[in-house]
Amino acid sequence: MKSQAQYRRFRTLLIANRGEIACRVIRSAKAMGLRTVAVYSEADAEAMHVAMADEAVLLGPARARDSYLNVERVIEVARKTGAEAVHPGYGFLSESAEFAQACLDAGLVFVGPTAAMIRMMGSKSGSKMLMEQAGVPLVPGYHGDAQDEATLAQTADKIGFPVLVKASAGGGGRGMRIVRSAAELAASIVSAKREAKAAFGDDRMLIEKFVQNPRHIEVQIIGDSHGNLLSLFERECTLQRRHQKVVEEAPSPTLDATQRERVCAAARKAAAAVNYVGAGTIEFVSDGRDVFFIEMNTRLQVEHPVTELITGIDLVEWQLRVAFGEKLPLTQDQITLNGHAIEARVYAENPHKNFMPSVGRIRTWRTPAETNGLRIDAGYRAGDAVSPHYDAMLAKVIAWAPTRDEAIERLNRGLGETDVRGIVSNIPFLSALVTHPDVRANTIDTGFIERELKNLTPAAPAPHDLELGAAVVTILAEEAKAAGAEAHSPWRTPGWMPVGRRQRVFTFRHGQGAEHKVTLTYGNGPATLSIGERELAFTTSPDAAGGFELRLHGIKSHVFAVIEGHELYLRTRNGRFDLHWVDPFGGETEEQVGEDKIVAPLPGTVVALLAEVGASLEKGAPILTLEVMKMEQTLRAPFAGVLKAIKCKVGDIVGEGVELAEVEPAAS
Ligand code: ADP
Ligand code: ADP
Ligand code: MG
């Protein structure tokens, strides 16, 4: 086992992680002229971090244990690719003392603290003992070795309920239970131990006083190998769900300048207790008056960008400089705090279904330009798969502004202009969260999200005329695109298709609820939409931002829309809307699975062919349009597959039940 100073200049960096943090690290490493090596699992062959790196090597199967957590394999790849250093990101092996040591033993620079420091600070109990000695204020509690039921019960009584039972090896909010009375204690310990054993292979528990109205405040620190140690102000991460951060900001809006200096000094003292080298975070819980140490994270954190935005420091660059053996470029009094920054974590999860993770392929990925104080740290792009094997975080939207109110405003706008489709995301929930009056007023605690969940996950809003009109335009545009037929394009209204007056009826459903009918009248003269009693003239044209402009009854609106089969996702000035298009003919394909023949549902005329033989079709892709009693209906692929045959041509008059096309299901 080697233990000599490991830090030295290197040229090639392996990033032992995936997703947004791997991309984030690669960005700074490249800017510093380093050659970057990505690693990936079988599930990630096409992932964004793989595309970004200079080189990428397969680690193994999708399961993290067989790939990103496989220490031997990561070291072997580093050796083979000539990497001289390893950045672990966060999560995965970032707080593994064994991995840090394995890197050192293999002659690689580990971008982080030494294995000994990780070992000392990695256990919540061990670090609390150290902090106690260093005189850092702790939450009252028990963090001794004895784990028998009697000792734990006795100490809990002494501390006074409510208490928090916590896994010493814990992370990500797991292995933690609030216990409100002595009667609940034994059962909570059993279940917390079970969870901790499964998640961390270690079921040792500590007990803390549960701080009332808790707020989470943490301090970014960084040390070099020359004995310099700096604090880079604090972050507040009180918006949590199940002890997991959701929105983070810097500086804390709760602290005044004196409190700020006090908590930063406590953090420096904590890090100095282990002569800390590298980036790290000292976490505190606050009762609104005092702050108490809870744990140290010996790595870069998810929320590090808010610190970067208020200090102007690139933390990854500084991590790499420290790993080169350089001195920190600034001194404590050269670190200044400028403005306010706030970050929201975008997850593939469904807030309406208890935040169940959502897996699948991302069909649409749209984020705002990174100007005007907005920054997007993403790990995914359109077309990427969200695999069930890893954390569901996709990206972070981060905003900076001179003041907190303006930063929140920018974040809200940034979230409004972010669209992720194909999977379900928490973006609407985040928008509701950052605009909540209590968040604006900063009258929150860590239980806020759980208490306010109903108001943060409102039912889907009913569409207005604007959304119904936009839905019709979206379908027409998609059909015209599929047909490659400019003449069909709704952008050419009014008066496109000089074929007399025709009508077409569209039915949309929103949520589980109401159906809305819209009748499109077009042909000679201006096109109109009839919705209920209302008859609305409209024109429309594509806009530069990839959406379109809809003038409905003289009012111009910008619309962004995505259509996937029968599902429409719209963003208008009224908000976000999800509509289901009830298509009576090409229709409700769910019921027709296995039916590979496309037949005429009623007698009619074939008016357009929208796909070519041999084309691969997604489920719901348009194949042809049939005119039935002056109404057009588009027949669609009942499942994903290949268009095997078209058995009609434009102008054919066909009877009910006549076979018009054949689709061969995609092999799955
Ligand atoms: P913080 O870094 O602020 O402490 P977390 O504890 O939520 O915030 O972040 C670490 C967690 O991130 C890990 O416990 C894990 O659940 C998750 N994670 C690990 N690897 C990744 C990754 N590559 N992308 C996104 N999330 C990850
Ligand atoms: P993890 O390793 O999972 O991040 P932490 O010890 O950092 O575990 O706790 C996670 C969160 O739980 C904290 O961010 C804080 O909001 C809350 N928490 C932790 N300890 C206490 C406490 N003693 N009283 C109240 N809340 C706490
Ligand atoms: Mg923590």
Q: With a 6 A CB cut-off, is 245 part of the ligand 1 pocket?
A: yes
Q: What domain range includes position 275?
A: 215-456
Report pLDDT digits (tens) over 303-320: 999 999 999 999 999 999
- Does the C-beta of 298 come closer than 6 Å to ligand 2? no
Is residue 603 situated within a structural domain?
Answer: yes
Residues 245 and 297 in one domain: yes
Residue 317 lies in a domain: yes
Share of the chain above pLDDT 90, in %: 73
- Beta pairing partners, 353: none
CB contact set of 481 (below 8 Å; sequence gap of 6+): none
Same domain flag for 195 and 258: no
- To test ligand 2's pocket by mutation, which of 177, 206, 216, 243 has the most ligand atoms within 8 angstroms of CB? 243
Q: Total structural domains in the chain?
A: 5
CATH code for the domain of 296: 3.30.470.20
Give dist(CA 412, CA 416) in Å, integer: 6
Q: Which of 90, 210, 285, 299 to mutate to test the pocket of ligand 2 (most atoms within 8 A of CB)?
A: 285
HSE-up (13 A, CA, CB side) for residue 451: 9
With a 6 Å cutoff on the Cβ, whether 297 touches ligand 1 is yes
Query: Which of ligand 2's atoms lies nearest the C-alpha of 294?
Result: 6
Which position has the token pair 């290197």? Answer: 10
Per-residue confidence band for 260, with pLDDT thresholds at 50, 70 and 90: very high
Residues 339, 391, single domain; the answer is yes
In the reported structure, the alpha carbon of residue 142 is separated from the centroid of ligand 2 by a whole-number distance in angstroms of: 15
Q: Across the strands, what pairs with 597?
A: 662
Residue 37: per-residue pLDDT: 98
Say if residues 506 and 490 touch (Cβ distance below 8 Å).
Answer: no
67, 94, 111: which is the final residue of a domain?
111
CA of 376 to the centre of ligand 2 (A): 27
Rounded to an integer, the average pLDDT of 323-350 is 97
Same domain? 524 vs 660: no
Asked if the model's pLDDT at residue 516 lies above 80, the reply is yes
Sign of the dihedral defined by the CA atoms of residues 404, 407, 413, 414, in that order:
negative
Residue 658 lies in a domain: yes
User: Which residue, 156, 178, 209, sits at the end of a domain?
Assistant: 209
19 C-beta closer than 6 A to ligand 1: yes
CA dist list (Å): 388 to 200, 348, 350, 358, 647? 20, 10, 14, 8, 41
pLDDT digits (tens, 9 = 90+) for 240-256: 999 999 999 999 999 99
Domain of 483: which CATH number? 3.30.700
Q: Is 301 in the pocket of ligand 1 (CB under 6 A)?
A: yes
| Same structural domain, 407 and 268 | yes
What is the Cα Rg of the chain in Å?
29
Lowest mean pLDDT among 18-22, 73-77, 431-435, 534-538: 534-538
Q: Which ligand is nearest to the CA of 206?
A: 2
Average pLDDT of span 634-658: 90
Look up the CATH number of the domain holding residue 611.
Answer: 2.40.50.100
Position 125 in a domain: no
Rounded to the nearest angstrom, the distance between the alpha carbon of 90 and the centre of ligand 1 is: 6
Tell whether ligand 2 has an atom less than 6 A from the beta carbon of residue 293.
Answer: no
Q: Let me know whether 59 and 189 are in one domain.
A: no
Model confidence pLDDT, tens digit, residues 197-256: 888 889 999 999 999 999 999 999 999 999 999 999 999 999 999 999 999 999 999 999
Ligand nearest to the CA of 301: 1
Do both 378 and 525 map to the same domain?
A: no
pLDDT at 89 over 50: yes
- Residue 251: cis peptide before it, omega within 30 degrees of 0: yes
Show the tokens assigned to 246.
């959701």
The H helix count followed by the E strand count for the chain is 16, 39
- DSSP character string of 72-139: HHHHHHHHHTT--EEE--SSTTTT-HHHHHHHHHTTPEESSS-HHHHHHHHSHHHHHHHHHHHT--B-
| Distance from Cα 380 to the centre of ligand 1, integer Å | 16
Query: Ligand 1 centroid to 21 CA: how many Å?
Result: 9
Statement: residue 51 has pLDDT above 80: yes
Q: Which residue's structure tokens are 């599902």?
A: 567
Report the separation in Å between the CA atom of 89 and the middle of ligand 1, taken as the mean of its atom positions.
9
Among 439, 456, 473, identify where a domain stops.
456
Q: For position 591, what pLDDT does the model report?
A: 40
Q: Check: CB of residue 202 under 8 Å from CB of residue 196.
A: yes
* Mean pLDDT of the region 123-142: 92
Lowest mean pLDDT among 136-140, 490-494, 631-635: 490-494
Instruction: Give the whole-angstrom CA distance, residue 159 versus residue 207.
Output: 9
User: 272 with 403, same domain?
Assistant: yes
pLDDT at 491 over 70: no
Residue 282 pLDDT more than 60? yes
3-state DSSP assignment of residue 102:
helix
Tokens linked to 100: 């840090």
Rounded to 5 degrees, φ, ψ at 613 are -60, 135
Question: How confident is the prediction for the chain on average, in pLDDT?
Answer: 91
**Can you give the pLDDT at residue 407?**
98
Closest ligand to Cα 294:
2
My answer on whether 332 and 373 are in the same domain is: yes
Please work out whether the CB of residue 210 comes within 6 Å of at least one atom of ligand 2: yes
Query: How many Å apart are CA 665 and CA 668, to the nearest integer?
Result: 9
Ligand 1 pocket test, pick from 300, 391, 394, 426 with the greatest ligand atom count within 8 Å of Cβ, gives 391
Q: Are 233 and 221 in contact (CB under 8 A)?
A: no
- Which CATH number goes with the domain that contains 167? 3.30.1490.20
- Establish whether residue 393 lines the binding site of ligand 1, counting it when its CB lies within 6 angstroms of any ligand atom: yes
| Over residues 527-544, mean pLDDT | 89
Residue to substitute in 20, 24, 90, 92 for testing ligand 1 pocket (most ligand atoms within 8 angstroms of CB):
90
**586 domain residue, yes or no:** no
Residue-wise pLDDT for 3-31, tens only, equals 455 899 999 999 999 999 999 999 999 99
> Residues 471-493: what's their mean pLDDT?
76
Question: Which token pair is 30?
Answer: 């490249």
Q: Is the peptide bond before 584 cis (omega within 30 degrees of 0)?
A: no
Q: Which of 369, 368, 442, 372 is nearest to 400 (CA)?
A: 372
Which structure tokens are listed for 523? 């042909």
Give the separation between CA 166 and CA 206, rounded to whole angstroms. Answer: 5
How far apart CA 215 and CA 287 sit, in angstroms, is: 6
For the chain, first and last CA: distance in Å? 49
| Residue 53 DSSP label | S
* Together in a domain, 477 and 425: no
Nearest residue to 618 (alpha-carbon basis) of 449, 386, 383: 383
How much distance in Å is there from the Cα of 300 to the middle of ligand 1?
A: 10
Q: Tell how far CA 429 is from the center of its chain.
A: 12
Do 344 and 219 reside in the same domain of the chain? yes
pLDDT at 585 (0 to 100) = 66
Query: Which of these, 427, 417, 370, 423, lies nearest to 398 by C-alpha position?
Result: 370
| Spatial distance between the Cα atoms of 559 and 465, rounded to a whole number of angstroms | 13
Host H or E run for residue 579: strand 575-582
Alpha carbon distances (Å) from 462 to 431, 459, 510, 516, 579: 18, 9, 7, 10, 9
Q: Please indicate whether residue 548 or residue 172 has the higher confidence score (pLDDT).
A: 548
Amino acid 586: pLDDT? 56
The Cα–Cα gap between 180 and 357 comes to 30
Q: Which residues are catalytic?
A: 299
Determine, yes or no, domain membership for 589.
Answer: no
Does the beta carbon of 21 lie inside 6 Å of ligand 1?
yes
Proximal ligand: closest to the CA of 286: 2
pLDDT of residue 497: 53
pLDDT of 171 > 90? The answer is: no
Which ligand 2 atom minimizes the distance to the CA of 209? 23
- Taking only the tens place, the pLDDT of each residue in 575-632 is 889 899 997 665 444 443 346 889 887 778 898 899 999 999 988 888 998 887 666 7
- Regarding the beta carbon of 391 and ligand 1, being less than 6 Å apart is answered yes
Q: What is the pLDDT of residue 643?
A: 94
Q: Is residue 123 part of a domain?
A: no
Residue 524 pLDDT grade (very low, low, confident, very high; cuts 50, 70, 90): confident
Please compute the mean of the pLDDT values over residues 38-63 and round it to a whole number.
97
pLDDT band at 494 (very low <50, low <70, confident <90, very high): very low
615 lies in the same domain as 654? yes
Domain assignment present for residue 119? The answer is: no
Q: Token pair of 358, please?
A: 């959502």
